[in-house]
Structures are given as C-alpha cells and as structure tokens.
Amino acid sequence: MRRVHNFSAGPAALPEPVLRQAAEEMLDWHGSGMSVMEMSHRGKHFMAIAEEAETLLRELLAVPANYKILFMQGGAIAENAIVPMNMLRGHAGADYVDTGEWSRRSIAEARRYGQVNVVASNAEGGSVAIPARDSWKLDPNAAYVHICTNETIGGVQYHWTPDVGSVPLVADMSSDILSRPIDVSRYGLIYAGAQKNIGPSGLTIVIVREDLLGGALPCTPTAFDYQVVAEHGSMYNTPPTYAIYIAGLVFNWLKARGGLAAMAEHNRVKAALLYDFLDSTSFYSSPIARDCRSWMNVPFRLHDSALDAAFLKGADERGLVQLKGHRIVGGMRASIYNAMPIEGVQALVAYMKEFEAAHG
Amino acid sequence: MRRVHNFSAGPAALPEPVLRQAAEEMLDWHGSGMSVMEMSHRGKHFMAIAEEAETLLRELLAVPANYKILFMQGGAIAENAIVPMNMLRGHAGADYVDTGEWSRRSIAEARRYGQVNVVASNAEGGSVAIPARDSWKLDPNAAYVHICTNETIGGVQYHWTPDVGSVPLVADMSSDILSRPIDVSRYGLIYAGAQKNIGPSGLTIVIVREDLLGGALPCTPTAFDYQVVAEHGSMYNTPPTYAIYIAGLVFNWLKARGGLAAMAEHNRVKAALLYDFLDSTSFYSSPIARDCRSWMNVPFRLHDSALDAAFLKGADERGLVQLKGHRIVGGMRASIYNAMPIEGVQALVAYMKEFEAAHG
C-alpha cells in the first residue's frame, strides 16, 4: 500500500486512522452483520451513529443549546440558494462581503432570491486581503450579513469575527470549520460542505440559531427548509448515512487529538512553516496580505511560471500531489487541512528548497 | 465477521463483493496513494471513476444517446420539488398517478409549484393495486405524467409501461431501478435515490431526455437546474464522490452477473418463492393484487398481529433482520432488492414455516 501527501483543496485528505477503521468495519459494523451503508437510517444502529456524530460536533465546536445542527446535502453551492430561501424571512435583502471567488458565487446566487448589498469587496485593487470592518457599509434592515470565513481559491481567511450588531451573521465555513475554536454564539448560521475538514463530499453541515428557523420562501423545496429538517432530526429525507458515519469518525479523531485548540496550534505551526519559507526566498512568493493569510489553503507562485510544469512533475514523483493552483489564479496551491500532518508540509518545504537549488 | 440477511427497505443490502473491494481499496485506490474519498472531483483518478460509472449505467439500462445521466443529491424527496421546478416548462400543471404513499408525497410537493391533476388513484377501495391505464383521465396539455414504478411502502409495482402519448412520462424508480430491463425511450425522465439498488444514500440518479432540459422555474437553485447540471457533467457542485464510486462497483457487479435480464430472472424467482409461500398458507397473507405485486418489497401479515413481536424476535435471532413493516401499514415487509441472494429468501421462508408450525 502506498500513501501520498495529498494537498487537494477538496475533497481532501482524511486522517489515516479514520480510513483504517472504515475499512475494518466495512462489512460488519460492531457485530451488526451489516455495513453502515446498508443500515436503515431509522434503525437503532444508524440512529446511534448519527446521534454520536452530532454530540461530538456539538462538543468540539461548543455549540450552544439554542442552536440546531442539521445534516443536509448539496454542499455550499446548493446552500448559496438555500440560505437566502430560508434566511430572508420577509426582509428585502441581505448584506454580503466579497472576499473572493466563493463570496462572489454566493452573491450571484443570492441575487436570484432578494436584494444583495455588497457591503465591502476586495475585487478591486492590488493586494488580496479581507476588507477592514470599518469599511463595511452595513444595512441595519438586512436579513443577515454573509461572509466566507476562508476563501479556498484566493487563500484569504478571517482571523477575527466581525461584529455586525443585531443582524445575524451567516458564514460559509466550508474550508475552515473545525480548524480552530470559534464562538458559535457570534453567528446566526454557519454552513459547510464536508469535503475539507469533515468527511466525504455529499454532506453539508448547517448550524443555525433556533429563533431563525421558519418563514422560508414558499418556493423552498421542503427537503431544504431548515425548519422541516430540524423538526425531523435531519431525517425528512434519507440522509447521506455513510458520509455522516465517516464524519463521526473524524470528530472522534479530532477529540482524541485534543479538540480544536490543539488543532488550531497544529494548523498554525504548519501554516507558519510554509509562509515563513515563502517569505525567506524570492524564488517563490505569496500574494496574500500577511494578516489574512489562510491556514488552510496556501496559494504561491514560482518567480518564473515557465518552471511550473517541472515543479509539479517533481512534486508528483515525490508523492506530493494535487499542488496545481486553481485555474482562476494559476500558480500553485497547498491545501493543508486538519488531516495534513506536519510531515507533509516539511516534505513540501524540503522539496521546494531542493527545486530552488536546482533551478534558482 | 458476521453477515446477516438484511431485508431493509433502504438504505439496503449491498453486494458483498462490492463491500470487500471498497474495504480493500479504502486507503489506496489503484496505487494512487489516496482513498477515493480524498480525491479531487476534478482530478484524473475520480474523473475516470465517474466516467466509468456513467458508461456502465448507460450500458446496463441501454440509455439512448439523446438522454443525459445526472449524478445529483437530495434523494427522491428532494426530486419531488426539483422535478416540477425543472419539468413544468411553462405548462400550468402536470398529471400524477397515485399508487401509494410515495406517489402522494410527490403529489403534495408538486402542488407547491403548479396545478396537479391526480389522474387515477388507489387511495380508495379495498385491494391494493395499480389503477388500470384505461381509467386514467390524462390532460393532453400536462407538462408531464408522473408515476412511481414501485411503491416501497405499499408493495405495488408496475409490471407494464404506461402509454401516455406525446406527454413525457416521468418516473420515480427509486426502489426498482436496475431490477429488470426497461425501455428508457418510453420515459422523458427517470429519477432514483441510490439507496436501494444502486449504492449508498446521498446520491440521486436522473436520466433525462435532452430536449426536456432548460426552462426551469426562476426560483430553482442553480445546483438543481438539470440543464446546468448536465452542462457541467454533474460537477457544477462537488458531487457525492464516494457514493458514485460505490455505485460504479455495483454497476460492475451487475454487469458481471449478466446484466438486467439476468437480474430480472433472479428477482422474479426470489419474489415467486416468497409470494407462492404466502399464497399457500392462511397463517400469513399478502394484501396486494396479484398482477401488481412488487418484486422488491413484499409486505405481508401474520393472521394474528399479536404474534408480530415474537416473529420479529425469532427472525432477528436467525440473522434475518429489518423485517418490521412500515409504520403506516404495519405487519411485516421483506425488501428483496438485487443484492439479496436467493439464500436469504429461502432462509426467510424456512423460518416462516418453522414459526407457523410452532404457533399455527
């Protein structure tokens, strides 16, 4: 068996112990005589699995009792519609902060359901950064304020939680949920596709304050009405059972590793290792403002893009895979989510030094 | 390791060779150094997996070239909204045939998007049957005619394909797709949740005639607009990659078993074994009209429901699990999808005889 260091932006690397356990339990989960994939979602075995997953997630993120956790489908791209459908609640529109490609996709989709006020944007100008809070032109009557806490493509991340007063803060945390502790009570709603820090694609996590449930637009498919999903314990439609099981194994792994405080330190150290190296050489560079560099997705460039193909080929030969940058920004991107061990980043930096020595 | 005979209605039993292969490949798919769960959906490995799954499905069902196959999310319950959102295409409404609980859920959801004309129903009257075609009061201006080819709860199944003229026939085939050959060209659209005959829950298959794409209602979430999904090769949002991989393994297993003609014979024989036994005794009974008894889901009753609990307990002890009927109809239900071997049905009938001898 061979295992690579997988820098994919998502679906992304999973903890190896999780995969080992999943393989071992594939044909017979805990003596049930069934794979988790084969279990009725309403049977006692799967009900226990789903309940444990929710309990662990609640514990890891310290989710307050007045928040519901929903297991849904469709990923963040479906949520771009499902959020305004559920969250406009009679308001004319919502405020969105534009910090990159994922924000802009959320904005474009939300415009189909209500007025969208882009209160701040980093689309213009040179450096790639998060617009400072005092530049945001918020509407006190907005249904909510939407942010993307980590831009997977651009590589910018909020390292602070915006104060938006009494208007609910809605966050797409697809690519940094569970990477560090957060104060859930500062948010009205958090959503995240699973395929970065949680588990397999096809599962979406929604964490929503109870008083925000209800009043979805009449055209909302019932399966995507947060209130209905909450009332049915995420079993209004058949949930993605195997993805929930894997997510539960990941949550267990996170807990055993010391929870999100330990994970934040792990991620801070990995990111610092890579950014410090990028700053130490002119052969490579990071285009991101220092105070909002992502701990999860590190885009970087070679000083000469003619070397890109050779760089990727050499990396691949060393088992350092999926480093090609997103087509929108080009260059390279190292995604170093929770499951990426420090050894993976060390191996990447060692290779980058080696490549620089050979081509510098 | 223990394996039971799992009569769950869904998520349901999967072929054991599929589970074995999935376990073996969990940490390293074909020397890639990655689990399928960890692969970028746009990388060469997963693209090959998705392409093979689609090719096999197209081959198994003999899908004509002018039909698109879409891999979506949300299951049939989400499709209950997504179908009218996409398929009304400027028409005022659609025709629905009511053959049971799943039809009625489709009808209730479709009413939120347009006029629904229930053209025939088995909700009234004694026997549980499919209304004869000549009783259907079709509207020639309907956007489509909707049927559910197999009612998982009621246990009725179409053993014929309705002729509805030039109006597109739309079928929920969640619980009998791939159980026998069908003539796809008779349908405008077929949809199916994966969790019975295809693979894990969280994956929905849509097969749609190309000329029906386009013109979705303005409120349709872009991720659920069939035309957008088709144009992006089911990758507008991140697809449920692991579920697609497992589905591909199931398709391979079906092909190796001789395809759908062989599968139909396998299912016919299993169903006949169980129904013939039910008809041979007054201790058990089937409430379903003979010409529309489902090959997939066999509801049956004990002559004395006071014995139900003892029956289920004894079954469980013999590794015959998930036989309890749906709460709406009570009694028992044996779901005997493709992956249920003949030995499972033989074991069930042997136990039923044994139980009758002890309590008759």
Q: What is the pLDDT of residues A123-148, one digit of tens each?
A: 765 558 899 999 999 999 999 999 99
pLDDT of residue A234: 97
Catalytic-residue membership of A211 = no
Sign of CA dihedral A47, A53, A59, A63: negative
Residue with tokens 């009783």: B135
Sort residue B106 into left (φ over 0), alpha (ψ -120 to 50) or beta: alpha
Residue B304's φ and ψ, nearest 5 degrees, are -130, 110
Q: What pLDDT shows up at residue A122?
A: 87
- pLDDT tens, residue by residue, B183-230: 999 999 999 999 999 999 999 999 999 999 999 999 999 999 999 999
Catalytic residue among A95, A98, A172, A225: A172
Q: What is the pLDDT of residue B123?
A: 77
CB-CB: which of A20, A217, A221 is closest to B78?
A: A221
Give me the pLDDT at residue A328, please.
87
- What is the structure's pLDDT at B125? 59
Question: How does pLDDT run across A274-293, given as a tens digit for each residue?
Answer: 999 999 999 999 989 999 99
pLDDT tens digits for range A111-127: 999 999 999 998 765 55
Minimal Cβ distance to A28: which of B1, B221, B322: B1
Closest Cα in chain B, distance from residue A316 (Å): 11
- Active-site residue identified among A95, A98, A196, A225: A196
Instruction: Provide the shortest C-alpha distance from residue B221 to chain A (in Å).
Output: 5
User: Strand, helix or coil at A245?
Assistant: helix
pLDDT tens per residue, range B309-323 = 999 999 999 999 999
pLDDT score recorded for residue B29: 98
Mean pLDDT of B34-44: 97
Output DSSP code: residue A117: E
- Report whether B346 belongs to an annotated binding site: no
Rounded distance, CA A79 to CA A192, Å? 9
List the single residue in A35, A43, A222 with the smallest CB-CB distance to B81.
Answer: A222
Whether the pLDDT of residue B72 is over 70: the answer is yes
pLDDT at A183: 98
| pLDDT value of position B126 | 55
Question: Are A131 and A120 spatial neighbours (Cβ–Cβ below 8 Å)?
Answer: yes
Is B17-256 a domain of CATH 3.40.640.10? Answer: yes
Give the contacts of B226 (CB within 8 A, at least 6 positions apart). Answer: B68, B70, B82, B86, B206, B208, B212, B213, B216
Per-residue confidence (pLDDT) for residue A307, from 0 to 100: 98
Q: Do B201 and A41 touch (CB under 8 A)?
A: yes
Minimum distance, in Å, between the CA of residue A38 and any CA atom of chain B? 5
Tokens for B249? Answer: 């393994």
| Chain A residues within an 8 Å CB radius of B16 | 27
Mean pLDDT of B140-168: 97
Among the listed residues B179, B340, B337, B354, the one whose alpha carbon sits nearest the alpha carbon of residue B277: B354
Whether residues B200 and A27 touch (CB distance < 8 A) is answered with no
Residue B168: how many CA atoms within 13 Å on its side-chain side? 24
Q: What are phi and psi of B196, to 5 degrees?
A: -115, -70
Summarize pLDDT for A154-210 with one digit per residue, the tens: 999 999 999 999 999 999 999 999 999 999 999 999 999 999 999 999 999 999 999
Residue of A102, A225, A295, A324 with catalytic role: A102
Tens-place pLDDT, residues A306-351: 999 999 999 999 999 999 999 888 999 999 999 999 999 999 999 9
The H or E element that residue A314 is part of is helix A308-317
**Chain A interface test: which of B72, B219, B232 (most A C-beta within 10 Å):** B219
* Residues B252-264, mean pLDDT to the nearest whole number: 98
Can you state the angle between helices B342-359 and B259-279, rounded to 10 degrees?
10
Alpha helix stretches (DSSP H) within chain B: 16-24, 44-60, 75-87, 101-110, 226-231, 241-256, 259-279, 308-317, 342-359
| Chain A / chain B CB contacts < 8 angstroms | 243
pLDDT at B129: 87
Looking at domain A16-256, its CATH class is alpha beta
Inter-residue contact A327 to B42 (CB < 8 Å): no
Cα-trace Rg, chain B: 21
Residues of chain A found within 8 Å of residue B4, distances taken between Cβ atoms: 32-34
pLDDT above 70 (res A215): yes
State the DSSP H helix or E strand holding residue A191, giving kind and residue range, or none if neither: strand A189-193
Nearest Cα of chain A lies from the Cα of B258 at a distance, in angstroms, of 23
Confidence tier at B360 by pLDDT (50, 70, 90): confident
Assign A1 a pLDDT band (cuts: 50, 70, 90): confident
| Cβ <8 Å between B223 and A81 | yes
Helix (H, G, I), strand (E, B) or coil at A189: strand
Q: Which of A125-129, A298-302, B285-289 has the highest mean pLDDT?
A: A298-302
Does B73 contact A74 at a Cβ distance shorter than 8 Å? yes
Residue with tokens 């074995």: B20
How is residue B157 annotated by DSSP? B
pLDDT value at B308 more than 90: yes
**What contacts B358, CB < 8 A, 6 or more positions away?**
none
User: Tell me, what's the pLDDT at A123?
Assistant: 77
Question: What are the chain B neighbours of A26 within 8 Å (beta carbons)?
Answer: 19-20, 22-23, 26
What share of chain B in percent tops pLDDT 90? 96
**Distance between CA B309 and CA B32 in Å, rounded?**
50
Among left, alpha and beta (phi > 0; psi -120 to 50; other), residue B33 is left
Asked whether residue A271 carries a pLDDT value surpassing 60, the answer given is: yes
Q: How far apart are the first and last CA of chain B?
A: 35
- The answer, yes or no, to whether residue B331 has pLDDT greater than 60, is yes
Mean residue pLDDT of chain A comes to 97
CB B99 within 8 A of CB B154: yes
Query: In this complex, which of A14, A73, A109 lies closest to B74 when CB atoms are compared?
Result: A73
Whole-number pLDDT of residue A348: 98
Q: Are B162 and B147 in contact (CB under 8 A)?
A: yes
The architecture in CATH of the region B259-359 reads Alpha-Beta Complex (3.90)
Asked if B172 is an active-site residue, the reply is yes
Structure tokens at A278: 């990028």
Q: Is B308 a catalytic residue?
A: no
Tens-digit pLDDT profile for residues A18-44:
999 999 999 999 999 999 999 999 999
Reference B136, options B122, B154, B150, B126; nearest CA is B122
- Residue position matching structure tokens 């529309």: B292
**Domain residue ranges of chain A, discontinuous segments joined by +:** 16-256, 259-359
Give the pLDDT confidence score for residue A20 in this predicted structure.
98
Comparing CB atoms, the residue among A11, A38, A74 nearest residue B13 is A38
Q: Verify whether the Cβ–Cβ distance B200 to A240 is below 8 Å.
A: yes
From the list B172, B176, B295, B324, the catalytic residue is B172
The answer to whether the Cβ–Cβ distance between A6 and B223 falls below 8 Å is no
What percent of chain A clears pLDDT 90, i.e. is strictly above it? 96
* Contact: A33, B321; criterion CB under 8 Å: yes
How distant is the Cα of A189 from the closest Cα of chain B, in angstroms?
19
pLDDT of A15 reads 98
